[in-house]
């Protein structure tokens, strides 16, 4: 089966899928007791600064009295809880927000319900079910990296065919193979790359395409393009242009208990992700009629939003130990060798809306 189908089964199979069963851990997939840790789980500052960025946009967009806030893939609900606490400090903003969570995992929906107790929240299992009406804010952190993607691999004759996952009967294990036939879908690959000479783009090179990511980005951007007081923040790890791991182009990876493992090792029990192609997301948003900002590195974005000042404020009321962990958490979020560069932020807003804050940074 194509890699995309393998990912879809491994993540979304109704009984055995990673997000459907909740994986192998009592506490769920996310956090110290699970398989991976995300920015909102590292520090409350992450969700707070996102909340203030959106509050600032709302103020400059003319303070619409009702505005939908959709979060895609909210995980444990931590980002939303921190965002709403920060929002409550901006008069009128908290009351204007109507919160919608798009979450496919019943297990994580239950965790979110607990985390957000006392807030009026509506859940949807897919974006298309969320209301499409007035002013809108969208947030997604590490949502796009979880979506299944297709891989095309270059052949020795210069053509491209789909990378597959099959059964290796000799080894008694799953294995990667390549479709013997040239894939007609290779037409999706950027022509400059598709037709490049073999000495520049050799046989074995992999190009990834995520139709699900493109269609989610299109849906968001169309909604934003329809409504003058709307904006979105899409945060994820990935690349603009070519993937960092360009030696092959393969960015499929799996984490189990915070350690990299083979993506084929234990389907349904490991977190499977791929790097997000930000060039494709921003092109998709532009084509749908939204104005695009970035992508900028997460470190620069959080720096521009004032993470250093926020950390100082938190440290002022903290013990020495707590102050050290606030410093460590900030470093993890913004340092170049940690999450600061690999993670990126893409902004999208209605053409006539004010631009989002946080993007006023020089991008290398
Ligand atoms: N944003 C959270 C969680 C990231 S993990 C954080 O930063 O901590 C990915 C999240 O997206 C999980 O909540 C997962 O259940 C959800 N998810 C993955 N694929 C999805 C899909 N196709 N539709 C809706 N939610 C999805």
Chain segment 300-340, per-residue pLDDT in tens:
999 999 999 999 999 999 999 999 999 999 999 999 999 99
Shortest-distance Cα residue to atom 16 of ligand 1 = 73
C-alpha angle 335-326-337 in degrees, rounded to nearest 5: 15
Residue 315 preceded by cis peptide, ω within 30: no
Who wins on pLDDT, 351 or 241?
A: 351
Q: Convert the pLDDT of each residue in 103-142 to its tens digit.
A: 999 999 999 999 999 999 999 999 999 999 999 999 999 9
Which two tokens mark 301?
């974005």
Give the distance (Å) from ligand 1 centre to CA of residue 172: 32
- Evaluate: CB of 86 within 6 angstroms of ligand 1: no
Give the distance (Å) from ligand 1 centre to CA of residue 184: 31
Give the distance (Å) from ligand 1 centre to CA of residue 352: 30
Nearest to 251 by CA among 345, 144, 334: 144
Shortest-distance Cα residue to atom 14 of ligand 1 = 73
Whether pLDDT at 197 is above 90: yes
What local confidence, expressed as pLDDT, does residue 144 receive? Answer: 98
Cα separation, 82 vs 163, in Å, equals 41
- Evaluate: CB of 182 within 6 angstroms of ligand 1: no
Give the distance (Å) from ligand 1 centre to CA of residue 362: 30
Strands 206-209, 160-168: pairing kind: unpaired
C-alpha angle 262-280-233 in degrees, rounded to nearest 5: 90
Whether pLDDT at 190 is above 60: yes
Section 138-162 average pLDDT: 97
What local confidence, expressed as pLDDT, does residue 24 receive? Answer: 83
What local confidence, expressed as pLDDT, does residue 235 receive? Answer: 98
The DSSP secondary-structure symbol of 337 reads I
Whether pLDDT at 178 is above 60: yes
What local confidence, expressed as pLDDT, does residue 361 receive? Answer: 75
In this prediction, residue 246 has a pLDDT band, given cuts at 50, 70 and 90, of low
Who wins on pLDDT, 27 or 223?
A: 223
DSSP 77-143: SHHHHHHHHHHTTSTTHHHHEEEEEE---HHHHHHHHHHTTTS-EEEESSGGGS---S-EEEEEES-
Cα separation, 89 vs 45, in Å, equals 14
C-alpha angle 321-322-325 in degrees, rounded to nearest 5: 90
Give the distance (Å) from ligand 1 centre to CA of residue 71: 10
Nearest to 138 by CA among 78, 73, 186: 73
Residue 122 — φ and ψ, nearest 5°? -115, 135
Contact (Cβ atoms closer than 8 angstroms) between residue 10 and residue 170: no
Whether pLDDT at 242 is above 80: no
Q: Convert the pLDDT of each residue in 4-47 to its tens digit.
A: 999 999 999 999 999 998 778 888 899 988 999 999 999 999 99
- Evaluate: CB of 340 within 6 angstroms of ligand 1: no
Shortest-distance Cα residue to atom 11 of ligand 1 = 73
Q: Convert the pLDDT of each residue in 264-302 to its tens digit.
A: 999 999 999 999 999 999 999 999 999 999 999 999 999
Closest atom of ligand 1 relative to the 41 alpha carbon: 8
Q: Convert the pLDDT of each residue in 64-95 to its tens digit.
A: 999 999 999 999 999 999 999 999 999 999 99
260 sits in which H/E element: strand 259-261
What local confidence, expressed as pLDDT, does residue 43 receive? Answer: 98
132: Cα within 13 Å, side-chain hemisphere: 12
Cα separation, 45 vs 299, in Å, equals 13
Give the distance (Å) from ligand 1 centre to CA of residue 209: 19
Residues with Cβ < 8 Å from 19, sequence gap 6 or more? 11, 12, 29, 104, 105, 107, 108, 146
**How far does Cα 321 stand from its chain's mean position?**
31
Cα separation, 25 vs 271, in Å, equals 12
Whether pLDDT at 255 is above 90: yes
- Evaluate: CB of 41 within 6 angstroms of ligand 1: yes
Give the distance (Å) from ligand 1 centre to CA of residue 345: 17
Which two tokens mark 263?
């993506």
In this prediction, residue 362 has a pLDDT band, given cuts at 50, 70 and 90, of low
- Evaluate: CB of 146 within 6 angstroms of ligand 1: yes
Section 91-101 average pLDDT: 97
- Evaluate: CB of 111 within 6 angstroms of ligand 1: no
Closest atom of ligand 1 relative to the 29 alpha carbon: 5
What local confidence, expressed as pLDDT, does residue 21 receive? Answer: 84
- Evaluate: CB of 75 within 6 angstroms of ligand 1: yes
């Amino acid at each position: 089966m194509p890699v995309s189908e393998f990912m879809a089964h491994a993540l979304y199979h109704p009984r055995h899928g990673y997000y459907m069963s909740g994986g192998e851990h009592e506490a769920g997939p996310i956090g110290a007791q699970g398989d991976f840790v995300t920015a909102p789980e590292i520090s409350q500052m992450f969700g707070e600064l996102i909340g203030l960025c959106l509050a600032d946009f709302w103020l400059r967009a003319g303070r619409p009295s009702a505005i939908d806030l959709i979060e895609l893939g909210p995980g444990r609900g931590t980002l939303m809880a921190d965002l709403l606490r920060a929002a409550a400090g901006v008069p009128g903003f908290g009351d204007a927000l109507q919160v919608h969570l798009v979450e496919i995992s019943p297990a994580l929906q239950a965790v979110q319900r607990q985390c957000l107790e006392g807030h009026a929240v509506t859940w949807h299992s897919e974006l298309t079910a969320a209301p499409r009406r007035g002013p809108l804010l969208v947030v997604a952190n590490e949502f796009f990296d979880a979506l299944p993607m297709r891989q095309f691999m270059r052949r020795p004759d210069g053509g491209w065919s789909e990378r597959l996952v099959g059964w290796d009967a000799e080894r008694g294990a799953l294995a990667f193979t390549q479709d013997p036939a040239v894939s007609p879908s290779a037409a999706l690959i950027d022509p400059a790359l598709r037709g490049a000479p073999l000495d520049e783009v050799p046989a074995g090179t992999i190009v990834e395409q995520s139709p699900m990511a493109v269609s989610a980005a299109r849906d968001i951007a169309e909604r934003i393009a329809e409504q003058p007081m709307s904006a979105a923040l899409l945060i994820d790890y990935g690349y603009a242009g070519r993937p960092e791991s360009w030696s092959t182009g393969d960015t499929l990876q799996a984490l189990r208990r915070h350690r990299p493992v083979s993506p084929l090792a234990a389907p349904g029990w490991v977190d499977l992700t791929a790097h997000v192609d930000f060039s494709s997301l921003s092109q998709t948003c532009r084509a749908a009629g939204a104005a695009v900002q970035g992508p900028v590195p997460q470190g620069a974005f959080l720096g521009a939003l004032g993470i250093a000042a926020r950390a100082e404020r938190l440290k002022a009321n903290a013990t020495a130990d707590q102050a050290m962990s606030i410093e460590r958490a900030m470093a993890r979020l913004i340092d170049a060798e940690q999450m600061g560069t690999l993670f990126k932020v893409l902004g999208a807003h209605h053409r006539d809306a004010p631009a989002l804050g946080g993007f006023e940074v020089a991008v290398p």
